[in-house]
Copies of this chain bind each other. A is one copy, B any other.
């Protein structure tokens, strides 16, 4: 059993190096002379010591922390987004603190309070679309660097960057492909939880009109509840298919989770092909390339977002704000990334 050491003071005595030097060593090991570094490192192997997380961050200009807020941890989309942000952050020696708003604007506001109390260096948010969210982040942006990711706020904010997917490119790619290979698609939108919802609808309308087709939305009479996308889409299409509607249509879904529900409903009503080499009349396409989508039967045609780029870019922009001594430029940068079409069996 190694000797348990609680404070840097004790450590200093134990290995014979002054406390300020130890402090410097822990901040940046390269900043001390090689011989001293070895002495410390050898000493550390002898004892059991970890610097106190709170004490180290209490009196430092930069805490090395960045906060990330996502709406739902049980949605693989956001789980992947979070990881994509965390990777570059760790490379740059930042620690990511994650908070989930659970789709609730009040929890989102509470997460912001937590970040303020932790003196995080900056915040990356996949915001909810509520008006109240916008207010919270407007206030926050006057005190901390913020980058929005995946979804915008109802109103644009000065000095807040945005990184996301180019919905117009992605939807246009899908609409073009679907129109070229079969009947023009109907659109099944997602509950308006954030700004991607109306944006993808608008993109759909624009693409259809450009191709000379009339936009057509799947009729919806059910009120969606929360984030249960699959169940919502299933309920909607189960009713339709049961009455013989849309049974040979092409349905473009605003995301893969909706498409999953649609496929399920189609399966129930025998609208799916038996084998992958037999084409069905009903066609379904999604958006996001959920990890499950390639394993569904039929496998789902969709577009893959560039998580890697989005994560890296949002962190890079945040870092620029953090290091840019605040008042850099007041106009928010926008970076959107194109998607890649994944043609599979469902359309």
Which of A's residues lie within 8 Å of B, judged by CB? 50-55, 57-58, 73-74, 76, 79-80, 82-83, 98, 113-114, 116-119, 230, 234, 260-261, 263-264, 266-270, 272, 274-276, 291-292, 294-299
Contact = CB atoms under 8 A, between A and B. Distances in A.
Contacts of A76: 74, 76
Given A274-B272, A298-B267, A292 B260 contact: yes
Given A74-B80, A276-B267, A53 B295 contact: no
Top-8 shortest CB links A-B: A267-B297, A270-B275, A54-B54, A53-B117, A50-B117, A264-B295, A53-B118, A54-B58
A73 B83 CA distance: 8
Contacts of A264: 294-297, 299
A263 to B, nearest CB: 6
Tell me the number of copies of this protein. Answer: 2
Contact of A119 (B52, B79, B114): B52
A269 to B, nearest CB: 8
A4 to B, nearest CB: 8
Nearest to A116: B50
A83 B79 contact: no
A28 to B, nearest CB: 18
A126 B4 CA distance: 26
30 contacts: A50-B116, A51-B117, A52-B58, A52-B117, A52-B119, A53-B54, A53-B118, A54-B58, A73-B83, A74-B79, A74-B80, A74-B291, A79-B79, A98-B98, A230-B292, A234-B295, A260-B292, A260-B295, A264-B294, A264-B295, A264-B296, A264-B299, A267-B275, A267-B276, A267-B297, A267-B298, A268-B275, A268-B276, A272-B297, A292-B292
Given A50-B117, A74-B76, A230-B291, 4 more contacts: A230-B292, A230-B295, A263-B297, A270-B275
A297 B346 CA distance: 13
A270 B276 CA distance: 7
